[in-house]
Amino acid sequence: MKAKEVIGEDAEIALADARYDAIGKILETALVRGERKWEASDLLDKVFLNKYVGIPAFLALLWAVFQFTFEASAPFMALIEMLFAGLSNAAAQIPNDVIASLLADGIIGGLGFILTFTAPIFFMFLALSLLEDSGYLARAAFVFDRIMNKLGLHGRSFIPLLLGFGCNVPAIMATRSIEGTKDRMITILTIPFMSCAARLPVYILIAAAFFASNAATAVWSMYVIGIVVAILFALLLRRTILKGEPAPFIVELPTYKMPTLSGTLLHTWERGAAFVRKAGTYLLAGAVLLWLLSVLPWGVAAGSADSLIGQIGQAIQPVFAPLGFSWQIVSSLIFAFLAKEIVVESLGVIYGVGGEADIQAALLASISPVSAFALMVFTLLYVPCLATVGVIKKETGSWRWTLFAIVSEVLVAYLAALAIVMVGGIFI
């Protein structure tokens, strides 16, 4: 007979209640209480832990994070873009056409454009580090536990899901702290729907082009959509192939603290530097590969429909025709399986242009605003990257679950993008 059937509630909750009852009795005999005074932390908890206000407060803070990211990073992005534009112009003057094209269109035009987005990525991590170091994120987990438990997710899943905003790989590894095989499996399969930092350059590029006055809100909506889809997908799994009740979630809330400058900057650097290291390794290799595919066979115009990358994109484009995606966009999505940042890197190479404004102009000429938003959602929801697929295989120990994750993510992404195009077509 299960303990829950004997005592009428979950054993872990019963033990926690008994433990705090014992603590309370000891304190009654040993502690003389004075008059209770309300402190700032009490007032903050009245807001952040309120079951009605807590979630809207979290969403509002998340919106503020991306508004800050956009506003603070804009001048730095402009400076970095000017730097690489100058380097590209200098490389284009090299007498050897092949080397000039490789440097100007491939390495500088592709990788250099990616590095433009280091500024918003660092500012986003700065804002998230402030929220984490202040003690707020633990309270957000507590508030979300109620709704997550009803929809099939373990309350402890909130922290790995939140880590997914930075990178899905360590987030999936963090699920090791979740007890219960089904709870852990559901969390692993839902984390890829959380928008990692690698997707941010794609959002910024598209949002600034198509939704300029509401760019921060458009980016914020991707994170909200990711959370909603993750919860709904978890509910579907819990009701079908991974049936069961989520385990209870018990958390001790830390005190509010004023984040230290050194601690916040250290956390920001540790997370942001990972993006820079990625840019200097396989994003660099990706830029060279993309350039090579865009100029082969030798003699074709770089990034033309007759190039290898053009032929690949055109072969698959009919599948994405209902979404309004051009073959250039389809090609970039294919290669983004290596890393999501390659979407913007490949668009620069394929379109044969350099700089944010030029790529945005090419996008404006090839897709509608509705398809642009659908592209953002598709980028959000489909397979994150090769590294994430690898860690799913490692943590689940199963190719069957790994294949299930890949197929389900692509299917969800396609259906969500198609729904946006269909609904958007009615109103626009």
Flag the least confident range among 23-32, 145-154, 209-218, 414-423.
145-154
Q: 305 falls in which pLDDT band (50, 70, 90)?
A: confident
For the cut 80, the answer to whether the pLDDT of residue 130 exceeds it is yes
Distance CA 226, CA 224 (A): 5
Please check the confidence at residue 226 and state whether its pLDDT lies above 80.
Answer: yes
Give dist(CA 292, CA 289) in Å, integer: 5
Number of Cβ within a 10 Å radius of residue 137: 17
Q: Kindly tell me if the per-residue pLDDT of 320 is higher than 60.
A: yes
Q: What single letter denotes the amino acid at residue 328?
A: Q
Q: How far is Cα 256 from Cα 43, in angstroms, rounded to an integer?
A: 11
Is it the case that residue 144 has pLDDT exceeding 80?
Answer: no
Distances (CA, A) of 225 to 22, 222, 239, 418: 44, 5, 21, 15
166 pLDDT band (50/70/90 cuts)? confident
Residue range 261-273: average pLDDT? 82
> Comparing 285 with 378, which gets the higher pLDDT?
378
| pLDDT of 6 | 57
Share of the chain above pLDDT 90, in %: 16
Please write down the HEC assignment for all residues of the chain: CCHHHHHCCCHHHHHHHHHHHHHHHHHHHHCCCCCCCCCHHHHHHHHHCCCCCHHHHHHHHHHHHHHHHHHHHHHHHHHHHHHHHHHHHHHCCCCCHHHHHHHHHHHHHHHHHHHCCHHHHHHHHHHHHHHHHCCHHHHHHHHHHHHHHHCCCCHHHHHHHHHCCCCHHHHHHHHHHCCCHHHHHHHHHHHHHCCCHHHHHHHHHHHHHHCHHHHHHHHHHHHHHHHHHHHHHHHHHHHCCCCCCCCCCCCCCCCCCCCCHHHHHHHHHHHHHHHHHHHHCHHHHHHHHHHHHHHCCCCCCCCCCCCHHHHHHHHHHHHHHHHCCCHHHHHHHHHCCCCCCHHHHHHHHHHCCCCHHHHHHHHHHHCCHHHHHHHHHHHHHCCCCHHHHHHHHHHHCCHHHHHHHHHHHHHHHHHHHHHHHHHHHHHC
Give the pLDDT confidence score for residue 25 in this predicted structure.
75
Work out the average pLDDT over 312-324. Answer: 91
For 391, the token pair is 């860690």
Cα–Cα dist 203/226, whole Å = 13
Q: State the pLDDT confidence band at 420, using cuts at 50, 70 and 90.
A: very high
pTM: 0.74
Identify the pLDDT of residue 2: 54
Domain positions in the chain: 3-36, 54-427
Q: Taking 90 as the threshold, does the pLDDT of residue 370 lie above it? A: yes
